[in-house]
Structure 1
Amino acid sequence: MQIPAEAAEIEPGHAYTWRISFPDLPADPGSRRPASYNQAAHLAAACSAHLSDRPPPFALAIACSFELTSSIDLSALEGALLHLIRRHEVLRTCCRRTARSVSIHVRTPEETHLERVDAGPLLSRVATRAHLHELLRLVDPVTGPLMVAGAIVREGSATVHVVYDHLVADVLSAPITVADLARVYEDLVHGRRPDPAPAGSYLDFAREERTHNLALRAQDEQLQHWRGFLTDGGEHPPAFPLDLGVRPGHVHPSVNRTRTLLPGPLTDQLETACRTSGGSLLTGLLAATAATLREEGGPDIYRALMPINRRGQHRYSRSIGWFINAVPLAIPAPRSASLASRLALARAGYEPARQQADVHSVRAQQLLRSADATSEVHRPVSFFSYLDFRTAQGAEHPSTRTATVHAWSSACNGSLLWFHRNHSGLHLNSLHADTPLARQTTDSLAHRLVRTLLSFSE
């Protein structure tokens, strides 16, 4: 389940933290790697913020928390963490500031070590939550580190945290991390040798993605959906359609909240109703979000960016990295229509967008708008995401069933809607500007959305 760190329920215990340690010697010149489109945009925004003494706008830290039960072997846990870092090349990257930007370098597995720090006892849930929040705030794409880990150890159990800067991981990296760590920890505790094979490297994926996208030209057929989206009045990035009370040009602190929209049985009922009417739970959520926003005073067409997972089913399927591309959605919200009609409109808006997944949003913007990655970082962005954690890579391991994911940002001017499903039901994690109007608007939106989803289920 994806929840804010402030909502985490972590039992007290003795805290330990780990940070990656590399040799003091400078990285080999051949270790430099080109940044992916996502990484380049992230670093550009972060560098701009550092230079102006602002918190990095829209920069995210992503963490996962899970439980180990039985007496904890700290050496085995440390070994599992080191195995994870050596297995996934992107976790061995470090950033170095240059005169104009930041360069990315990768270290070898042999150069990579961990430093353990005894952080002492945490005697209350307030203290454990504060500790997790502190870990989230440690990572930084410009100054580093890009990853930290921690454990709160008790007699017979431990809560393990792994925190990534978004530069090296996405939300789907969380269940992969949990499954990898739990599996290798079990192997080490029982004297088994973990699988030494490296995972498919995100850095290789980034190179392949750039090669494909650099060959694109503005007139190419592959950009047809992007051209249509922008020609029909779509902005890039699309703005959240309701008033959040944000001041133009001002960077607002963010607030992160999770609500359960439907329990498991009602989620199953909604999915059945959507399938019976020719759709799916995803198209049902798209149609419901579009209809709800219109009823709250929004437009007749809901426009948003939607993240698409680019791992595929083979080489990168169990790899950690930022394998996400954002595609533009335009979902009509008719004032009166049957469920089947709404789902058909949602599907017609989603399918062409999904087929654009290999055209990166940054490259599309470069070709069609000639804009740089940081020109609109203060816009109140509209963002729609849906994940089914029951079927994500890594979900087969029992430790992922009760694991939690945390996304943290120091600032946000829009509203990011992360819908997710797990074994307990359908949930909405939202990150939005921390203004009184934004809180009121998102509360009203969530309440009306529940009513809309229930009406779809009837």
Structure 2
Amino acid sequence: MKLAAMADWRTAPGRVLRWSPTPAARVAAADAPVDPGPPSDLQSDHLGAFRALGRNRAWTGVATDVDGDLDRDAMTRALRRLVRTHGGFRTWFDLSGPEPVRHLVPAEAVDFEVEEVPVDGGDWDAALQEHLTSRFDEECTPDSWPGFAFGVVERPGGFGLFWGCDHAFTDGASQILLGSELADLYAAELAAPGGPEVVEGALPKPEERGDFRDYVEEQRKAATDFTAESPEVREWLRMVSSHGNRLPRFPLPLGLEEGEKAPVRIRTLTFLEGDEVTAFDRACKAAGARISGGVFAAVAAAERELAGRDHYFGMTVLSTRDRGPYSRSQGWFCTFAPVEFEVGDAGFGELAHRAQDALRHAKQLARAPIHLVVDTLLRTGTCTPADIGSPQLLSYLDLRWFPGAGRPADERGVHFTGTGRTSNASMWINRDADSLYLLAQVPDTAQARETVETYHGRLREIFRSAAG
């Protein structure tokens, strides 16, 4: 699975099929009972932004290719089983009142029908991308069911498969898991001699796919252990205060005025390949670090050279699913934490060691509920709402640990996000079996294009130098 732009997925031409809820399922969804309990903190923010904007391109998804002629009935059964299994995919939010109200479609009411839809245009790739964007924009919303869109490009001997989902019901790791799970569900439904083999252990066990709604309840209970005076919250405030009362920002000019945003442009770049990745891993271990520490060390070194920063201050995305009852669940299992360490004139090995220590500290700080942290930053006057904004993010993900890694549906897959607007140039640095590579969401301005190309180019040189 590659994290890339949606347009990087190329599938051969064919008949485009659309799966939609049956009329009876739509009626059941509209009448779905209220499901007690509030949304998660991240869902609350997302729903507030959706309501304020009326419509926002906050969807994410996956696409891949599967061998063999499509069995439409088997795919319908696989999709039905997927949605019935994961409660988040049966959820929608009523946003007509002051607070979001969650509704849950009964599992037994979920059903789908398939139809062929025209995708016109002389340029097949462009026409398909337009179709995907239109469908995801229209259907991947949190205020009606379903909050996802699914379809197939059918042709003899194989088919392309695509899925998009509103962010309220998913995150990046969930989408990567979903591509393999849906392919395995389909293979299981074929149940015919000579059909695709379902690898033992490929499908998640019940004890690995706990319901996201239970997770939300657990997180809210855990949040009661924290107050604005908790050490983790106080440390957040210290970090932000010592860096100009602002959350992290991209260190170089992006051609934007204060508070301005521009459309997102996706940029990808391979840093290391093959033996280079292995050598970089060895260099990190020799420094007492892991590749995650090495990634932050390389970024800190680039900021020192290009922006004169002798102190690294960044924000990372951390998974909250761990290896337990939610390890293969579908939902929004993320939080954020600040990463801070001295840079000075340290070499790569020392920086990697410092960065790894900082990441361990960040994981401790991530125990504090992010809503409480933000509320405290605002209430104390440490930050204004404009300062909170959309911080610069740096994420590292090792894709080799996902259950489907190395299998066809995963190897051919692309994980993508909708492209809205941004004021930063956040980076997702990922490792797979063959490479260490970058996905960045960059403001589409002339200065940003030039600045980011220089920055990413120097970052690649640092990675290669560290790998020897």
Asked if TM exceeds 0.5, the reply is: yes
In the alignment of these two chains, the number of paired residues is 451
Matching residue of 2:87: 89
Tell me: CA distance 1:341–1:392, structure 2 relative to 1, closer, same or farther (3 Å).
same
Q: Aligned pair 1:357/2:369, yes or no?
A: no
* 1:90/1:320 contact within 8 Å kept: yes
Structure 1 residues 219, 274: CA separation in 2 closer, same or farther (over 3 Å shift)? same
Q: Partner of 1:403 in structure 2?
A: 413
8 Å Cα contact 2:204/2:328 also seen in 1 = no
Name which of structure 1's ranges 336-345 and 139-148 shifts more when overlaid on structure 2: 139-148
Deviation, structure 1 residue 165: 1.1
Among residues 312, 327, 335, which one is paired with 1:325 in the alignment? 335
Cα offset, 1:28, TM superposition: 4.9
2:137 corresponds to which residue?
137
Runs of 4+ in 1 over 6 A off after TM superposition: 192-196, 371-374
Determine which of 72, 75, 88 is the counterpart of 1:74: 72
Q: Partner of 2:157 in structure 1?
A: 156
Structure 2: unaligned runs, 5 residues or longer? none
1:100-145 alpha-carbon deviations (Å, 9 max, x no partner): 3533221110122224331135672232333333333232234665
Q: Summarize the alignment of residues 426-445 of structure 1 with structure 2, pairs less than 5 Å apart.
A: 426-445=436-455
**What is residue 27 of structure 2 aligned with on the other side?**
24
Output the CA distance in 1 between the equivalents of 2:451 and 2:391: 15
Q: Give the structure 1 partner of residue 185 of structure 2.
A: 184
- Going from structure 1 to structure 2, the CA distance change for 1:382 and 1:129 (only over 3 Å counts) comes to same
Unaligned runs of 5+ in 1: none
- Partner in structure 2 of residue 340 of structure 1: 349
| Fraction of identical pairs, as percent | 24
Cα contact 2:11–2:65 (8 A) shared by 1 = no
Deviation at 1:13, TM superposition (A): 1.1
Q: Aligned in 2, Cα 1:23/1:379: closer, same or farther, shift over 3 Å?
A: closer
Query: Aligned pair in 2 of structure 1 residues 68, 331: CA closer, same or farther (>3 Å)?
Result: same
User: What is the TM-score of this pair, normalised by structure 2?
Assistant: 0.89
Deviations 1:1-21 (A, max 9, x none): 101012222211111122346
Counterpart of 1:209 in structure 2 is 219
1:353, distance to aligned residue in structure 2 (A) = 0.3
Q: Partner of 1:149: helix, strand, or coil? A: strand
DSSP 3-state at the match of 2:237: helix
Aligned to 2:456: 446
Distance 1:34 1:397, change over 3 A: farther
Rounded to whole Å, the distance in 1 between the matches of 2:107 and 2:390 is 41
2:184 and 2:419 mapped to 1: Cα distance? 30
Say which is worse superposed, 369-378 or 309-318, in terms of deviation: 369-378
Partner of 1:48: 52
Distance 2:295 2:257 in 1: 30
Q: Distance in 2 between matches of 1:298 and 1:132?
A: 43
Name the SS of the counterpart of 1:260 in structure 2: strand
Q: Secondary structure in 2 aligned to 1:304?
A: strand
Amino acid at match of 1:118: E
* 1:259/1:386 CA distance change after superposition, 3 Å: same
Does 109-118 or 425-434 show the bigger shift?
109-118
CA distance in 2, matches of 1:205, 1:296: 42
Assess, with a 3 A threshold, how the Cα gap between structure 1 residues 72 and 436 changes in structure 2: closer, same or farther: same
Counterparts of 2:192 and 2:93, CA distance in 1: 36
Distance 1:405 1:136 in 2: 14
1:188 counterpart letter in structure 2? E
Residue 406 (structure 1) shift = 0.6
Q: Which moved more, 1:224-233 or 1:106-115?
A: 224-233
Query: Equivalent residues in 2 for 1:383-394 (5 A)?
Result: 383-394=393-404
